[in-house]
Structure 1
């Protein structure tokens, strides 16, 4: 799978397909799988150290519960409604659901959770995985535990020296926010042997910018919309033909 500055690009469904279904739920993941090469998930640990798929540190925004995710057991978390009457999935649920037809971009939200996350991912073929995080220490630890897995450091406006940070973390890719990217940025990243996976592109104008910048991976809330646009407006090769 060529993704480092070559001619192949890939689509990542952000939290499955959060523009269409409640984020990080099975319905969002199934929608994302229809059109994305990878679905992106956010991983946190319950009080009993089970990896579950929730973006926020608290339950309030995306479920009918409240309080910190880490304050509830798996049973308590799965009694909640994560949207459309669906429960919060576990990491193992997502791997079993997705990996027959789609890759996974697993975002580690909490430093210190790498061991239990990687112990589950180790049970599966590492090729369809990326592990990403805002936390350099999480990337280094994930790479130590799963040397064959692709990794990426997520950068927002607080990345003062992004390429140095990525190399220090031992990552394979940089994931910059779309409004921080230029053609010069992607050119330099590719020169340094890094893939560029930009987030989050959700409009035709954003799609055009990503194509002009030669981004390798495109993270989007609506992968089927991006896939339809790509078939019409770009002649670069996509992983899924």
Structure 2
């Protein structure tokens, strides 16, 4: 079961910063970042459409050129990292989950990814059109559809845009959803699981992975489950 560090390690460090990614990489199989474009078209790791919540600045991300954005404090003295900086950091050390926040930015993001392709990469989005475009641009890379609303046929919707993964909000996961997705050949990787009860339920449901704000706590749980399993008979 894959552990994905949500926004790096959001519970432990300022989200979507290199500091959070380093912390997440210590325990997660993959780390996740949210990508938006600056005014001058540079992909950067930030969740919100504005910088207000996570930095000491104000206003929309797309209102800043990269040099201006880099002057903002994103917490603990960190700056908002570019996708190039993220790729340099994780290269050969962890997998990467890229969430495409804005439709129309897929080509720019794909171009940067092709310059330094991670060994393991997932491209995901809430926007079905972004998932479909990601598959056209990088057909060999697994892509996933994120959703939070009640969805009648999430597996069917995912398949309609050539997705390989569904990423439901945790409260949208059920045994039926998991079984239908697996029957369709899809991975199921929900978000965001942060307690031992969550991790235990993920194991019971047979999930393929999950996103967590505290990947080190999840890793401790996974190691404990592995240690409890009896050795195979010889």
TM-score by length of 1: 0.92
Unaligned runs of 5+ in 1: 1-8
Which of residues 81, 84, 90 is equivalent to 2:82? 90
Which of residues 11, 17, 35 is equivalent to 1:19? 11
Query: What pairs with 1:131-146 in structure 2 (closer than 5 Å)?
Result: 131-146=123-138
Residue 100 of structure 1, CA deviation: 1.6
* Residue pair 1:126, 1:149 contacting (<8 A) in 2 also: no
Q: Over aligned residues, Cα RMSD in angstroms? A: 1.4
Over 2 Å off, 4+ runs: 124-127, 158-161, 233-237
Which of residues 42, 51, 65 is equivalent to 2:57? 65
Query: In structure 2, what is the Cα distance between the partners aligned to 1:194 and 1:121?
Result: 23
Query: In structure 2, what is the Cα distance between the partners aligned to 1:125 and 1:93?
Result: 13
Query: How many residues are matched?
Result: 229
- Residues 51 and 125 of structure 1: is their aligned pair in 2 closer, same or farther, counting only changes over 3 Å? closer
* Residue pair 1:126, 1:148 contacting (<8 A) in 2 also: no
Do structure 1's residue 40 and structure 2's residue 50 form an aligned pair? no
Aligned to 1:161: 153
Unaligned runs of 5+ in 2: 230-234
Query: In structure 1, what is the Cα distance between the partners aligned to 2:118 and 2:139?
Result: 9
Query: In structure 1, what is the Cα distance between the partners aligned to 2:144 and 2:227?
Result: 26
Aligned to 1:217: 209
**Greater RCO, CA 8 A, separation 6+:** 1
Aligned to 1:99: 91
